[in-house]
Amino acid sequence: MAFFTSRFKLKLRTRRSFVLLAGLSLLLGLGTSSLQAQTVKASEEERRTARVQATYLTHLVNFTRWEKSHLPAEGESPKIIVVGNESRGFVDSLEFLIRQNALRIEGELVEFHYFENVRKKEAGEMFKNKGAQLIYVLPNSSFTPREINDLTESAVVFGEGREFVTEKGGDVSFVTVRNRVKLVISEKYFRRTSPKLSSKLVNLKSVVEIIPSSGPQGSIGHRGPNFHSVDSPQPK
């Protein structure tokens, strides 16, 4: 136990180790910053937005129910497909979460696909021939929700910006308001039989804005908060 009790050694060791650690830390930091040049990426805020969106989306899959007719044939996996170009880490984040959590739709492991704009035709063929359960339309994609609905009826269509739901016919969109990521959800997503979102989300007034759909039963839930999305200003 002399290891503990030698004050001289302790003092010497303490000084030596702190100087060593502080010095090496600094050298390591300086050295490695040049070793690993940071690739040009979107700003940290954009990347964080993308991570939160990907997390929301993963949660919403668990709140959604698909009828058997909207699921792939036996032996095939349900599909989540992202279309468009991006560089802020959304696709990577979503793919990571899907794999890490072994995400399932109606008990089946999800298959993830990503099609950049140059592969639009390939994506369209997949929608038409194999169907999809969730399609995320990135802002610069040339796909529109209506175009997707014409190709497949089984998919929930996600996008960004309020007008994606209010004007373009999408089911769900992410908006960034008041420094937070929130959801704009079409009422039809709650009303239809499949794919159908759990009505539990109706109560989250601060999180969800529900866009009423004109139908015989009128609107459900609240009209939603006064979201004035920075990326889709509310018309006055």
Partner 1 sequence: MIQSFTVLRGFLTHLIVRFFYILRLCILPCVTLLHITPGSSHGQTQEESNYTSGLSPFEQAELLRLIDLDIRNLSKIPIQGVLGYDQEYWRNPASVHVIRPEDITLNGYFNSVEALRGVPGMHVTRGLAYDNFASMRNFSGFSTQKFLGKIGGREVSQLMLGSANYSVDDYPIAVIDRIEVIRGPGASIWGTNAVNGVLNLVTKHSGDTQGDSFRIVMQDNGTFMGDYVHGGQVSEDSFYRVWARSQEYAEGTLDSGLPARDDGYLRKAGFRIDKELDSDLNFYLGGGFATRRLEHVLDLSNRLFYLENASNPIPLAFAQQLSTLPVAHPSYIDPATLPPVVSYSQNAALFWSTPAGLISYPSLPGGRISRYEYYGEMKNDSAHFIGKLEGITDADLEWSLTGFADHSDIYMGHLGFEWEQTQYDLSFDANRPVGDFHRLSFGLSAQRTELDVVTRVIEPFQVGFLKVPILDYDQAYTSFDRFNAYLQDSITLSDQLLLSMGAKFEENDLAGFGFQPGMRTSWMINESNVFWAGYSKAHRQPSLRERYTTLTPYKVWSPGGGGAWLNQSYPGDSTLDREEMDAYEIGWRLRPNKDLLFEFSTYRYDTKNAVRAASSNAYEAKNAEAYGGELSVDWRVSEIWRLRGGYSQARGKVEGIRVYDFPENTASLSSHFSYSDEITLVQNLFYAGKTDIPSDYNPITIPSHLRLDLGIVWEPKEGWEIGLFGRDLLEPYHVETMYPGVDVEPARVERTFLISITKDF
Q: Closer to partner 1 by CB, 24 or 109: give it.
A: 24
Binding flag, residue 44, partner 1 (CB under 8 A): yes
Output 52 or 117, the one with its CB closest to partner 1: 52
Kindly state the tokens that stand for 20: 């060593």
Is 198 a binding residue for partner 1 by CB under 8 A? The answer is no
* Coil, strand or helix at 70: helix
Q: Determine which residue in the list 67, 85, 122, 204 makes contact with partner 1, applying CB under 8 A.
A: 204
Nearest alpha-carbon partner for 184 in 103, 63, 201, 154: 201
Supply the minimum distance, in Å, between the C-beta of residue 69 and partner 1: 28
Q: Which is nearer to partner 1, 146 or 228 (CB)?
A: 228
- Classify the phi-psi angles of 125: left when phi > 0, otherwise alpha if psi is within -120 to 50, otherwise beta: alpha
25 binds partner 1 (CB under 8 A): yes
Q: Which of 21, 85, 140, 146 is the binder for partner 1 (CB under 8 A)?
A: 21
Strand 208-211 relative to strand 196-197: parallel, antiparallel, unpaired?
Answer: unpaired
Amino acid at 225: P
User: Which residue lies nearer to partner 1 by CB, 128 or 228?
Assistant: 228
Residue 235 interacting with partner 1 (CB under 8 A): no
Pick the piece of the chain touching partner 1 (CB under 8 A) from 18-26, 142-150, 156-164, 165-173.
Answer: 18-26
- Give CA angle at 36 (49, 88), nearest 5°: 15
Measured N-to-C along each axis, helices 90-100 and 44-62 cross at an angle, to the nearest 10 degrees, of 40
Element (H, E) at 16: helix 7-35
**Mode of pairing for the β-strands spanning 108-109 and 134-137:** unpaired
For the segment 50-109, give every residue that binds partner 1 (CB under 8 A). Answer: 51-52, 54-56, 58-59, 89, 91-93, 95-97, 99-101
| CB 90 to partner 1: min, Å | 10
Neighbour tally for 120: CB within 10 Å: 15
| Number of amino acids touching partner 1 (CB under 8 A) | 62
Q: Are strands 180-186 and 208-211 parallel, antiparallel or unpaired?
A: parallel
Strand partners, 115: 83
For binding to partner 1 (CB under 8 A), which residues are involved? 1, 3-4, 10, 13-14, 17-18, 20-22, 24-25, 28-29, 32-33, 35-36, 38, 41, 43-45, 47-49, 51-52, 54-56, 58-59, 89, 91-93, 95-97, 99-101, 176, 178-182, 201-207, 224-228
